[in-house]
Amino acid sequence: MKKFVLIVTIIMLAFTTCGNDPEENVNGFYGNPGTYEIVSYDGKSNVIKVNGAKTEWEVVKYSLLEYKGKEIAIIFSADVRREGAAGDLSWHVNNEGTYPTISYLPNAGADVWHHMTGKLIVTPANDNPSIFLSTWENNTKNTVYYIANPSITIEVDSINPALTPLQSVYKDNFLIGNIINETYMTGRHFERLKHHYNVVTPENDMKPSLLAPSKKGGAYQWAAADAMVEKMLANGMQVQGHVLVWHFQTPGWMIDGTKEEAEANLKNHINTVLKHFKGKINSWDVVNEAMRDNLSPADTEGNWRNCVRSNQSDWEAPWFDKIGPEYIELAFLAAREADPDVTLYYNDYGLDNPNKAKAVRNMIADINERYINEKGGTRKLIEGIGMQGHYNRWLNVENVRCTLELFKTLGIEIAITELDISFSNTGVQGNRNDTVMSENDEIEQAKLYAKLFKLFREYSDVIVRVSMWGIDDASSWLSAGNPCLFDWRLNAKKAFYAISDPDGFLEEYKE
Ligand code: XIL
């Protein structure tokens, strides 16, 4: 028995000495025992000096044990310096086999301080979760690391309590939508989606390249889109179909080959997809972004076919190149035939530009007129126009009004299909780490949202749906422009409150 106690004590002692020793730490950061000391260096005190040659791949760490199982928002910064050799500096969360990155600096120079920052939402799941500076190169480089001013702020449950659902704010006006993607299928994103929105558009999973990536074997990949449709319908949301015919995210096999083959592929694809989702999706974006940019008023006076995006005007227009402008009408005819119960939409961006708007209007008017002349009756072929609404800080809301007036004359429904207002100065897409917005930008952005929704309300006799393209800034396809209603922690931004009460907001921030 005594022997047993002794062995247990030795094992426990071994664990204490080999384990983490947070006793000696700087703001909670510590190294592996025997590999680090706390020193004054280069005019800075309380610097962790790590002898990298001795350490494992976790150079220093910060324990997240107390947050295990809780969703947290981490805000991190530190000054880091490598002595001796340049190389990567990267901070991660150690989270049960996955190592999400907080901050990454590739090939950081030697012998200078690097100020590193990062933000991340994570739910630590590991037995001993931590944030750590990683290395895998010590055997070759013997690097010495210095870490000064390490700082971590952790917010637990930083998410707002339930806000008034946007869908109830606009229940008498139009549907309110957002996108669905893999990230939004669960957790806080899904909660937000279900709370605020009553219609979703799959961000990517119904696009031709995702449904039909390869002709070999002819197999369509339905699993991801099906899972979305089932879950959304089960949760009382409608699903908008997006998209059947586009120049982008379309597999080469559909358009390779002769004109006749391309036409057959186009019809088959539309038929296959509409039949597959029959009864589940009320309206589809049939053709996306067919009209070109930079049209002059003179361009729009003639035949709309001369305004269609082509290999002359754009770097990529495969359907046009193979079939000519008739691919548009062909697609709508095939869609009507495949499922007459579906409302067919033409969808495009940049329609606040009066010339582009006019070209689109001319096209729809012509196609619809000829269709009715030929078929008789009153049912139009193109029954909806989607204005994407990827706007930016230079948006003139009055241009949107002019376009709404113009489109009203078509006698078809209008949807705002992909709304976001990007405040990036560079136009770059960015990634989830660059999510900083000045207060002034947040106010200016919110004003634009307020003005737009005021306008949409005025036109709610023709606008049937307003859908956003992303819930929060970090997950948006344009994250560098922070274009969404929620910030990277899923907190409501000024833009959210602006939409909740446009008049009140514009009154409060009167120019
Ligand atoms: C975007 C998605 O958001 C991205 O994830 C993808 O990489 C590219 O496509 N117009 C459209 C949408 O009709 O399908 C696009 O979505 C954004 C522009």
DSSP 126-189: SSS-EEEEE-S-HHHH--EEEEEEEEEEEEES-SPPPPPPHHHHTTTT-EEEEEE-TGGGSHHH
Neighbours of 251 (CB within 10 A): 18
> Separation of 241 CA from ligand 1 center, angstroms?
13
> Does the Cβ of 388 fall within 6 Å of ligand 1?
yes
For the residues 94-114, what does the mean pLDDT come to? 92
Q: How far is the CA of 360 from the centre of ligand 1 (A)?
A: 20
Residue nearest to atom 4 of ligand 1 (CA): 477
Q: How far is the CA of 497 from the centre of ligand 1 (A)?
A: 26
Instruction: List the Cα angle 272/275/281 in 5-degree steps.
Output: 120
> How far lies 7's CA from each of 2, 15, 18, 21, 283, in Å?
9, 12, 16, 22, 71
pLDDT digits (tens, 9 = 90+) for 272-303: 999 999 999 999 999 999 999 999 999 999 99
8 A C-beta contact, residue 83 and residue 146 = yes
What are the Cα distances from residue 333, in Å, to 22, 277, 280, 337, 377? Answer: 69, 18, 20, 6, 16
Name the more confident of 159 and 16.
159
Q: Is 326 a catalytic residue?
A: no
User: Most distant CA pair in the chain: distance in Å?
Assistant: 100
CA of 438 to the centre of ligand 1 (A): 26
Q: How far apart are CA 130 and CA 27, in angstroms?
A: 14
183: Cβ below 6 Å to ligand 1? Answer: no
Residue 10 has pLDDT above 60, yes or no: no
Q: Whose CA is nearest to atom 5 of ligand 1?
A: 477
Tell me how crowded residue 170 is: count the other CB atoms within 10 A of its CB: 20
365 alpha carbon to ligand 1 midpoint, in Å?
Answer: 27
Ligand 1 centroid to residue 179 C-alpha, Å: 10
What is the share, in percent, of the chain residues with pLDDT greater than 70?
Answer: 91
pLDDT of the residue at 161: 63
- pTM for the complete prediction? 0.81
Question: Looking at domain 4-156, does it have CATH number 3.30.365.10?
Answer: no
pLDDT band at 139 (very low <50, low <70, confident <90, very high): low
pLDDT bucket at 311, cuts 50 / 70 / 90: confident
Confidence of residue 138 (pLDDT cuts 50, 70, 90): low
Distance CA 318, CA 311 (A): 8
Side-by-side strand order, sheet with 87-94: 29-31, 58-63, 130-134, 87-94, 101-108
Q: Looking up tokens 């001993």, which residue turns up?
A: 128
Neighbours of 148 (CB within 10 A): 21
- Using DSSP, state whether 491 is helix, strand or coil: coil
φ, ψ of residue 389 in degrees (nearest 5): 80, 40
Which of 94-108, 243-257, 263-277 has the lowest average pLDDT? 94-108
Average pLDDT over residues 338-365: 98
For residue 347, the ligand 1 atom closest to its alpha carbon is: 13
Best of 182, 418, 420, 484 for a ligand 1 pocket test (most atoms within 8 Å of beta carbon): 418
- Lowest mean pLDDT segment, chosen from 134-138, 346-350, 394-398, 481-485: 134-138
pLDDT band, residue 20 (cuts 50/70/90): very low
**289 is known as an active-site residue:** yes
Contact 286, 244 (CB under 8 A): yes
CA nearest ligand 1 atom 15, residue: 203
Averaged pLDDT, 213-226:
87
When the candidates are 3.20.20.80, 3.20.20.70, 3.30.310.50, 3.40.50.20, the CATH number that belongs to 198-382 is 3.20.20.80
CB atoms within 10 A of CB 274: 24
Residue 26 predicted with pLDDT over 80:
yes
Residue 348 is a catalytic residue: yes
Q: Which of 289, 339, 352, 420 is catalytic?
A: 289
Comparing 73-87, 128-142, 378-392, 411-425, the range with the smallest average pLDDT is 128-142
447 or 161: which leads in pLDDT: 447
- The answer to whether the CB of 101 falls within 8 A of the CB of 133 is no
Catalytic residue of the set 418, 420, 473, 487: 418
Q: What is the pLDDT of residue 427?
A: 62
Of the given ranges (55-59, 96-100, 290-294, 296-300), which has the lowest mean pLDDT? 55-59
pLDDT at 123: 86
DSSP 85: S
Ligand 1 atom nearest to 288, measured from its CA = 13
* Cα 436 to Cα 75: distance, rounded to the nearest angstrom: 12
- Nearest Cα residue to 91 out of 57, 67, 47: 57
185 pLDDT tier (thresholds 50, 70, 90): very high
Domain boundaries, the chain: 4-156, 198-382
Among 263, 339, 348, 383, the one annotated catalytic: 348
Mean pLDDT (the chain) is: 91
> Looking at 18-32, 38-52, 280-294, 327-341, which range is the least confident one?
18-32
- The rounded distance, in Å, linking the Cα atoms of 100 and 480 is 19
For residue 418 and ligand 1, the question of a CB distance below 6 A is answered with yes
**Cα separation, 409 vs 196, whole angstroms:** 31
> For residue 15, what pLDDT is reported?
41
- Write down how long the chain is: 511
Q: How far apart are the C-alpha atoms of 509 and 511, rounded to whole Å?
A: 6
Question: Does the C-beta of 203 come closer than 6 Å to ligand 1?
Answer: yes
Cβ distance 167 to 145 under 8 Å? no
Which atom belonging to ligand 1 lies closest to the Cα atom of 477? 3
Cα–Cα distance between 357 and 161 in angstroms, integer? 41
pLDDT at residue 425 above 80? no
**Residue 46 Cβ < 6 Å to ligand 1:** no
Asked whether residue 73 carries a pLDDT value surpassing 60, the answer given is yes
363 has a pLDDT exceeding 60:
yes
